[in-house]
Amino acid sequence: MLLDYNVPYPVTDFLQKHDLATADEMGWAKLNNGKLLEAAERAGFQVFITADKHLSYQQNRTGRQLALVVLSTNNWALLKQNIPAITKAIDFAQHGSFTYVDI
- C-alpha 75/C-alpha 79 separation (Å) is 6
- Please tell me the predicted confidence (pLDDT) of residue 52: 87
Provide the CATH number for the domain formed by 2-101 in this structure: 3.40.50
Residue 98 burial class via C-beta count within 10 angstroms: exposed 0-12, middle 13-18, buried 19 and up: middle
For residue 56, the model assigns a pLDDT of: 60
Q: Residue range 26-39: average pLDDT?
A: 88
In degrees and rounded to multiples of 5, residue 94 shows phi and psi of -130, 160
State residue 15's pLDDT score. Answer: 86
- Of the two residues 12 and 58, the one the predictor is more confident about is 12
Residue 22's SS3 state is strand
Q: Model confidence over 54-97: pLDDT tens digits?
A: 766 555 556 678 999 999 999 999 999 999 999 999 999 998 88
Amino acid 93: pLDDT: 92
